[in-house]
């Protein structure tokens, strides 16, 4: 019986082995490149903090209120002194005065400025002696001319007089006051305000101690506040702390968003606004407790976990899924290239 034998050709075996090795190396290289590119898409470079602004207005001292007028690329600033509050002052990004609007408003203790929906709000909310029957918030009818008429609303606390440094106005025009002292709290003014009588505010939450200014962040779902030593981001529905970051001690009071809406400007003891990043990390302390009257406030999330925990979990899982996706892309790319090589 004839015996069949399989012969190996030395002249063809070595080239085939080398060709397969090249295909495999090529597949590995493409897989590595895909993994690096996919991972690069998940990691964005850190944005630079906003530039500092040195206020070059004669007589201007430590700013107590700052508001970013994004439509006109300027910041409204005040140091709370009578010489400052008799006119509304705005500066550009270089700190030079670009607007001065005179008015005859009678104010007692201006402590805050806010800009919302194209209007400037002036917070005459200070009451260090707790002697005022009501505080007031004013808004000029225009900020485009040399002088202006204004609207004013008297606001009253439901539980007696309080001193306050911080005011924040939501994108919808809702006014919030954050008081100082041992029982610091967040109060909300009525949605519909009367100009002929006192508007009774509602306490919506307890607040961290020592808040000197506040501002709604873009989107209206969070509020940035500052103390002498830190900046915090609060949930605007639950008033719980979502993030915080240390703030270099400067002796200043004011806080505002920058003109791009991506960062913050914190006032210093001198007439200077320092650019800082919006905090994004977890904060282990300074979480305000919701009061009984805040039960009707809309909730941004549901479930037993806090909003901070949920945001952190989402961030971790999002990163994990992105990395897993990069690995899958790399494996698929490698397999496709390898199979294509075998068909050649």
* Contact between 47 and 262 (Cβ < 8 Å): yes
Does residue 35 carry a pLDDT above 90?
no
Structure tokens at 328: 């899958």
Lowest mean pLDDT among 111-115, 228-232, 335-339: 335-339
* Contact between 160 and 132 (Cβ < 8 Å): no
- Beta partners for residue 224, in sequence order: 215, 233
Burial readout 269-295 (b: 16 or more C-beta within 10 A, e: otherwise): eebbbbebebbeeebeebbbebbeebe
* Spacing of C-alpha 257 from chain mean position: 7
Pairing, β 230-235 against β 241-246: antiparallel
Does residue 50 carry a pLDDT above 90?
no
Does residue 99 carry a pLDDT above 50?
yes
- Mean pLDDT for 113-134 is 95
Q: Please measure the distance between the N-terminal and C-terminal CA atoms of the chain and give it in whole angstroms.
A: 38
**H or E segment and range at residue 97:** strand 97-102
Residue with structure tokens 């990069």? 326
In the prediction, which pLDDT does 328 show?
A: 42
| Angle at 225 (CA atoms; ends 106, 192), nearest 5 degrees | 50
pLDDT band with cut points at 50, 70 and 90 for residue 282: low
Taken in order of first residue, the domains within the chain and their CATH numbers are 53-291 (2.120.10.30)
The whole-model pTM stands at 0.72
Phi-psi bin for 275: left (phi > 0), alpha (psi -120 to 50), beta?
beta
Helix 10-42 to helix 307-343 angle (10° resolution) is 160
Does residue 77 carry a pLDDT above 90?
yes
Which position has the higher pLDDT, 205 or 31?
Answer: 205
pLDDT band with cut points at 50, 70 and 90 for residue 25: very low
* Contact between 88 and 105 (Cβ < 8 Å): no
In the prediction, which pLDDT does 34 show?
A: 44
Residue with structure tokens 């901070």? 308
Lowest mean pLDDT among 2-11, 71-80, 108-117: 2-11
How many residues does the structure list for the chain? 344
320: CB partners within 8 A, 6+ apart: none
* Contact between 239 and 205 (Cβ < 8 Å): yes
Backbone angles phi, psi at 265, to 5 degrees: -125, 120
């Amino acid at each position: 019986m004839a015996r069949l034998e399989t012969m190996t050709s030395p002249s063809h075996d070595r080239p085939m082995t080398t060709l397969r090795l090249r295909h495999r190396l090529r597949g590995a290289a493409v897989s590595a490149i895909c993994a690096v590119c996919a991972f690069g898409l998940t990691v964005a470079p850190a944005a630079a903090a906003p530039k500092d602004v040195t206020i070059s207005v004669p007589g201007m001292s430590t700013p107590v209120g700052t508001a970013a007028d994004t439509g006109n690329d300027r910041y409204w600033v005040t140091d709370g002194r009578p010489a400052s509050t008799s006119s509304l002052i705005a500066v550009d990004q270089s700190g030079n005065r670009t607007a001065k609007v005179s008015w005859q408003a009678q104010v007692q203790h201006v402590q805050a400025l806010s800009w919302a929906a194209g209007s400037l709000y002036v917070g005459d909310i200070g009451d260090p002696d707790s002697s005022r029957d009501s505080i007031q918030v004013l808004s000029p009818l225009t900020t485009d001319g040399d002088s202006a008429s204004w609207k004013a609303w008297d606001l009253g606390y439901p539980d007696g007089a309080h001193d306050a440094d911080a005011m924040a106005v939501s994108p919808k025009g809702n006014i919030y006051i954050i008081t100082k002292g041992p029982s610091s709290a967040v109060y909300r003014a009525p949605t519909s305000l009367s100009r002929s009588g006192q508007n009774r505010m509602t306490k919506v939450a307890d607040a961290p101690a020592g808040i000197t200014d506040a501002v709604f962040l873009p989107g209206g779902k969070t509020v940035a506040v500052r103390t002498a030593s830190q900046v915090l981001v609060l949930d605007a529905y639950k008033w719980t702390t979502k993030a915080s970051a240390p703030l270099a001690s400067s002796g200043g009071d004011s806080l505002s968003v920058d003109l791009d809406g991506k960062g913050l400007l914190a006032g210093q003891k001198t007439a200077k606004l320092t650019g800082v990043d919006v905090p994004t990390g977890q904060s282990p302390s300074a979480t305000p407790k919701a009061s009984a009257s805040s039960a009707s406030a809309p909730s941004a999330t549901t479930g037993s976990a806090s909003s901070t925990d949920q945001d952190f979990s989402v961030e971790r899982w999002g990163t994990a899924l992105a990395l897993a996706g990069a690995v899958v892309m790399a494996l698929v790319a490698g397999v496709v290239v390898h199979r294509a090589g075998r068909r050649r």
